[in-house]
A and B are shown apart, each in its own frame.
Chain A
Amino acid sequence: MIEVQGLTKTYGTGEGATSVLRDVSFSVAAGEIFAVVGPSGAGKSTLAQCLNLLERPTSGTVVINGQDLTALPESQLRAARRRIGTVFQASSLLRRRTAAENVALPLEYLGVTKAETRARVLELLDRVGLSDKAAHYPHQLSGGQRQRVGIARALALRPKVLLSDEATSGLDPDATAQYLDLLRDVRDELNLAVVLITHEMDTIVRVADSAARLDHGVLAEQGRLVGLLTDPDSVLGEALRASGPAAAAPPGQATVRLTYDTGVPPDWLGRLTIETGAAVALLAASVQAVDGIPVGTVTVGVDDADLQRVLEAALALGLRRQGGIREAVPA
């Protein structure tokens, strides 16, 4: 597992100093995928560089399996970096090395024998489904294949923590989905703690167990994904919910937004109509499975006269109201 405590990174000193990260703390258990999102400039790449120790944090600690890596002297940092595998953006394979030679890089640097390296590389390429591409150069691989080579390279030294640093940016949706599926599979197999740094919300809903939002160098909120998605006050939850614009309510109907998860029966809409006898118009809806749990956000239109009764019945079924009620347009 990886525990980050009070991580701060400041560039420069005195008046010209700028804090890129301020007191960032989180922990990722073995077998957990933790996503960090944020707009560009929020400090995501600095966070990534502090986690794989390419940059030293100004203060704070990065602890992996009980060892504080930030306390190590420069000479031991190199060995410490081997405990975190990093998948970078798509352009990060060495162009003059084949797929197999790229995967072999960390093993070569460690001084593993040629025979052992060959065996391990074949095993890794096989695991990411690219054994037939071992002799291909990066320019002969698709973006998705290059990222799978990147995963194989990151796993070469059997790290306990995997860092995915904007690894899906620039990939098409199919390749992104394949990458994420592979990430989840290796997480399950190797019981890895995965830190997924990204700006793509779809990515998170697909694989993350928990997520955090980085805003101007501060972790503004973090939590389990299901919690965030159903929390009406969560900015991250709001961004994660697939929310297209709702259809316009018919005249005379007020609109209200409701969210729900596990406790609510899937046929709640039918029950609501039967119980209250009111006509409930569905204006926008999104239901997705997060970790196997259905999470829904809906916007419904109800006649002004029925509104109070419908809301009470909905709350009784376990749904939550999100935001205010939009007044009906007069008929």
Chain B
Amino acid sequence: MSLFASGITVPASEIPDLLLPALRDTVIMVGVVMAVVLVIGVPLGALVYNLAPGGLLAKPALHQPLTWFISIGRSLPFLVLMTAIIPFTRLLTGTNIGIAAAVVPMSIAGIAFFARIVENSLRSLPPEVVTVAKASGGSNAQIIWGAQVPEALPNIVGGLTINTIAMIEYSTIAGTIGAGGLGYVAVTYGYQRFDHGVMIATIVVLVIVVTAIQLLGDALVRHLTPGQTVLRKAHA
């Protein structure tokens, strides 16, 4: 029971009406952001990896600024990044509140995050992958898209799962500046009104969503790794 007037507390029967639209907003926000992150993050990660010394396209002059740019995106706490780029966000979307405004800083943080994940996944490939693709007469583009990325796909998808969950976290931070979604509900009802019922319900929904994404991601990685499904069958 709340310490304050009981009228402020949302009755249990009305909690779904509050949470379901919020969940929908969160899914839209994270979905749009992850689409942008995939489209830009994978090529960017592959580019950073291959521009580095020893890479296919080794060009230190290009690699340096690119890796600095990503590092800046990675090093700012999301709250700071979000606030700092408000002028840029307003330029793109015409507003600095709401879902549209939240998607911009989330995408920037997400792209930087995912570029590093892709870079790291490519780095852990055995060097034979490039040697064989080169000796088979592959162009740089063919080697990147036809050998490196497909071979690293299980690792990349594993990273995608981590990234998606991180974006849900960022969406709740964005919620505090009025982006809507589960974070907004948690802050306005749970924090500002001490409504424990809504707070607990929000936590339960978040745990369920995150667990579902993790399970889905793990299943996908297993499916993409030759031998994993076979091994599991053998153990069963």
Contact = CB atoms under 8 A, between A and B. Distances in A.
Chain B associates with chain A: yes
Interface of A: 52, 54, 78-79, 81-82, 84, 86, 88-89, 91-97, 105-106, 108-110, 137-140, 153, 156-157
Interface in B64-107: none
Contact of B226 (A96, A105, A106): A96
Given A105-B147, A109-B133, A140-B226, 10 more contacts: A88-B131, A88-B132, A91-B126, A94-B129, A94-B150, A106-B137, A109-B138, A138-B226, A139-B226, A157-B137
A92 B132 contact: yes
10 contacts: A78-B139, A79-B137, A92-B128, A96-B150, A96-B151, A106-B136, A108-B142, A109-B139, A139-B227, A157-B137
B25 to A, nearest CB: 37
B146 interface: yes
Contacts of A92: 128, 131-132
Contacts of A110: 137
Contacts of B227: 137, 139-140
A234 to B, nearest CB: 33
Interface residues of B, number: 24
Contacts of B126: 91
A95 B226 contact: yes
Contact of B142 (A86, A89, A109): A109
B196 interface: no
A281 to B, nearest CB: 53
Given A94-B129, A95-B226, A137-B226, A54 B135 contact: yes
Between B129, B133, B137, B230, the greatest number of chain A beta carbons within 10 A of the residue's beta carbon is seen for: B137
Which 8 pairs across A and B sit closest by C-beta, in order of nearness? Answer: A137-B226, A106-B136, A82-B137, A92-B128, A109-B138, A139-B227, A86-B135, A105-B136
B36 interface: no
Contact of A54 (B134, B151, B153, B224): B134
A92 to B, nearest CB: 4
Contacts of B138: 78, 105, 109
Contacts of A138: 226
Contacts of B133: 105, 109
Between B135, B146, B147, B225, the greatest number of chain A beta carbons within 10 A of the residue's beta carbon is seen for: B135
B126 to A, nearest CB: 6
Interface in B110-143: 126, 128-129, 131-139, 142
B131 A109 contact: no
Contacts of B137: 78-79, 81-82, 106, 109-110, 157
Nearest to A49: B131
Nearest to B224: A96
A156 B226 CA distance: 24
Nearest to A154: B135
Contacts of B230: 140
Nearest to B128: A92
